[in-house]
Amino acid sequence: MQKETQNNLYTLLSDVVPKNVLTTKNKARSWEYGVNEKYNIIVISKDGTIGDVVSIQGLRIALPATPKDCFKRDESKPNQYWERKDIPKPLSKIQSIFQWNDMATEFKNQWVDYVENEFVKRERGTWFYSNGIKTYITGSHFMYLQWTKIDIGYPDFREANRILYIFWEACKADKRSFGMDYLKIRRSGFSYMGSEECANTGTISKDARIGILSKTGGDAKKMFTDKVVPIANNYPFFFKPIQDGMDKPKTELAFRIPASKITKKNMFDSTDDELYGLDTTIDWKNTDDNSYDGEKLLLLIHDESGKWIKPNNILNNWRVTKTCLRLGSKNYR
């Protein structure tokens, strides 16, 4: 993070945490993801360290500690920027985890570090040099830039999006929060970013449901079929859970073991390599005041929520859906 205010979207704060406390807890990697009431910060770091603290829309957000080394595409500052890396050719030929499991041990040993490193970036985020500055992006932002194929190919890095993703990560870390409202200009990419969050969350969460609503049911369906499903399908094999149903579903994307007929012969069979699914689904609903009433949701994306057509009312729907995102005192998104 640059040691000055880059623009009016965020402010770099100083002396939020005493230096001796910062040094001690960073050495022990003991900072916990979530709200830290003592210092009035929201820690979005998942490696136990914190570094810069920034203020975005009044939220004091603690980023991970800046690493000594990070990706640098060039020694010249003007040529230092985000650069997406294609999947290595040997891995691009693998379409499923089943193919991977059938590969020779030598092959898997050669590429397992690469795969595990991608999971680390997905979980913790990553750093890169931008014009001489070590710059942090969250795991969700990494998934958007590196593995989310959109209508123009792959998205460009935008500083405004980086700040948005940092704020969004703080909303996820803060269990007092239901999420966020994002007022945007046209062609800012929110529909794709929202779709990426659906696909990313849905392909890594267990026993969950992700929902989509828009100004009309047709718009919600289009977001699902034209964005969410292709994004999930274009993930590399190591980010693809076992999927039930069609590869291009119209109503529900289900990450679970396909059902099979129980027979007298197989009903008592069991194997040591039994497969397990996430039992997570992503779907959409027609626009209505009572959409998702009574459902339990991990994540709900409202696209074009300010354009609901009367007599439907987003405020009425929110009174219903906010209870779907809460389990006791615990909020989801």
**8 Å CB contact between 324 and 298:** no
pLDDT confidence tier of residue 224, bands split at 50, 70 and 90:
very high
Q: What is the mean pLDDT of residues 215-224?
A: 94
What is the pLDDT averaged over residues 269-274? 47
267 pLDDT more than 60: no
Domain 178-262+275-331 in CATH: superfamily?
P-loop containing nucleotide triphosphate hydrolases (3.40.50.300)
* Choice between 72 and 327, residue whose per-residue pLDDT is larger: 72
Instruction: Show Cβ contacts of residue 155 under 8 Å, excluding neighbours closer than 6 positions.
Output: 144, 145, 148, 161, 189, 192
Distances, alpha carbon 8 to alpha carbons 4, 12, 52, in Å: 11, 11, 17
- Dist. CA 95–CA 247, nearest whole Å: 13
Q: How far is CA 282 from CA 6, 119, 123, 125, in A?
A: 37, 21, 20, 24
CA angle 308, 311, 315 (to 5 degrees): 60
Label residue 284 by pLDDT band (50, 70, 90).
Answer: very high
Average pLDDT over residues 19-27: 96
Q: What is the DSSP string of 15-58?
A: SSS-HHHHHHHHHHT-PPSEEETTTTEEE--SSS----EEEETT
Smallest CA-to-CA distance from 333 within 287, 284, 296 is with 296
Q: 71 pLDDT exceeds 90?
A: yes
| CATH 3.40.50.300 domain residues, the chain | 178-262+275-331
Q: Which of 96-100, 219-223, 265-269 has the lowest mean pLDDT?
A: 265-269
Which pLDDT value is given to residue 307? 84
